[in-house]
Structure 1
């Protein structure tokens, strides 16, 4: 909820599964994406890469966005955003924009990947979770297994009273790469410290999905990659790194927010 031009108060939708006073990844990613695009977005440029470092737990308190244009080039624009709480930076994000142009000559390799959509889609803010062999459900607990996972969402507006842009929608759902890669047979025991999402184009409508591609883990550190989809097809990739957090492991069979999108 906006308090003024660059200061926001979190609502209950921003609460994280990791703690009652923690904010969730999609809310933080969405706010940073919104601030950067609102200040520096141009119609002739595509916001192609967003990298968000979630290096300190964000709390349920007023949050200020601080943005700066780092480079204003003819073909490449770089900008950055900090989310600040009580004078402390809790999130830092960078956005790379490329000027739209004609493609080069020739044909290139593309990955042969498919995203099986559910038969029915829910309302705003209601996600669907899927995994190989289990199909689609509204809950997450049914997918605490070792198979490939995916989910879709029509995200609520990150800033109350302002519609999410296609870029913000893609960034917020891409943060689910942590969920679809780190969810195992006992829930989620890794907390991601970052997200990098890269888009070749913007999603065509409000529904966005993310599907796991790979998950590598060793000595309490994991790396997950995922593909981001809309109803036309794949349009981007997401990468998350995460660190083990077994003391606060999230078991979705005891989900405190069963009717809400995963966070």
Structure 2
């Protein structure tokens, strides 16, 4: 039974119709470094992904895309999910999930996700381009440590091999970055599903791509994870692929890997948040930030 999780279940949350529904209480692993008493992005994304898969997954259909709009700060309070199926087709199914909290006595939707389920079949005939294996730079660190503390990587001084360590301050530079991460559970007592692992780790696209010499000062207002397959194993690699920034707005993409190779991509839009910059040379997040 997992005790390292973003949320613990709690009954007694009340919806807008006055009916009791199941809520989730954030644990310390859900805490954000951006501001006190707020939740981090991976925790909010994880809860939405869990709800979509739990309520709407169907045999023969695979979770192929997850998009979430993080349009309101999530507080350290009981959190409820509410889902609905908005498309139930023969090849494509689409579900929406709201992340709901009660703030100052009023219900607030802090995020809304869309999950696309696609029917599995066979690849069409013909050949198409894909990046050759020898062009892939990602190689996970050689380690037997199987805990929830992530490994961070940057290229060496001359752009050679990836240099790995667990010291975030050692990677606060302008070089390309990698992450080798093991997601914590979404809810206490549950192991994260492969889909949840992909979403939780995919949210690190923002960290890996927006992290520079002064720390991280872009906060992502969304996340999209696109999957050609579900990941295997417990750890996922996140590789900075592209980063662009203009007038306080950034766009970033990352490649997602498991032990068998690349399985998907992540994309985020960032907005300038300089006043709350997180400097990893002075902040020691430790377990609070583990896998977040």
TM interval, shorter chain, is over 0.9
- Structure-1 residue corresponding to 2:10: 3
- Structure-2 residue corresponding to 1:106: 126
Displacement of 1:139 in angstroms is: 2.1
What is the root-mean-square deviation of aligned Cα atoms in Å? Answer: 1.3
- Structure-2 residue corresponding to 1:94: 114
* Aligned counterparts of 1:174 and 1:150: Cα–Cα separation in 2: 12
**Which structure 2 residues correspond to residues 14-25 of structure 1 after superposition, within 5 A?**
14-25=30-41
**Which of 268, 273, 283 is the aligned partner of 1:245?**
273
- Structure-1 residue corresponding to 2:206: 178
SS at match of 2:76: coil
**Which of 64, 73, 86 is the aligned partner of 1:70?**
86
Q: Find out whether 1:258 has 2:286 as its counterpart.
A: yes
- Name segments (4+ residues, structure 1) moved above 4 Å: none
SS at match of 2:281: helix
Displacement of 1:262 in angstroms is: 5.2
* Aligned counterparts of 1:73 and 1:231: Cα–Cα separation in 2: 33
Normalised by the length of structure 2, the TM-score is: 0.87
- Structure-2 residue corresponding to 1:164: 192
Larger-gyration structure (1/2): 2
* Aligned counterparts of 1:262 and 1:203: Cα–Cα separation in 2: 16
SS at match of 1:27: helix
**Which of 147, 150, 154 is the aligned partner of 1:124?**
147
* Aligned counterparts of 2:114 and 2:190: Cα–Cα separation in 1: 22
Q: Find out whether 1:79 has 2:106 as its counterpart.
A: no
* Aligned counterparts of 1:144 and 1:257: Cα–Cα separation in 2: 14
SS at match of 2:251: strand
1:238/1:188 CA distance change after superposition, 3 Å: same
- Structure-2 residue corresponding to 1:233: 261
Aligned residues: 263
Partner deviation per Cα, 1:21-57 (whole Å, 9 max, x = no partner): 1101111111100000000012311100000111111
Displacement of 1:121 in angstroms is: 4.9
SS at match of 1:32: helix
Displacement of 1:93 in angstroms is: 0.3
* Aligned counterparts of 1:118 and 1:220: Cα–Cα separation in 2: 34
Displacement of 1:256 in angstroms is: 3.8
Displacement of 1:114 in angstroms is: 3.4
Q: Find out whether 1:37 has 2:53 as its counterpart.
A: yes
Structure 1: gaps (5+ residues): none
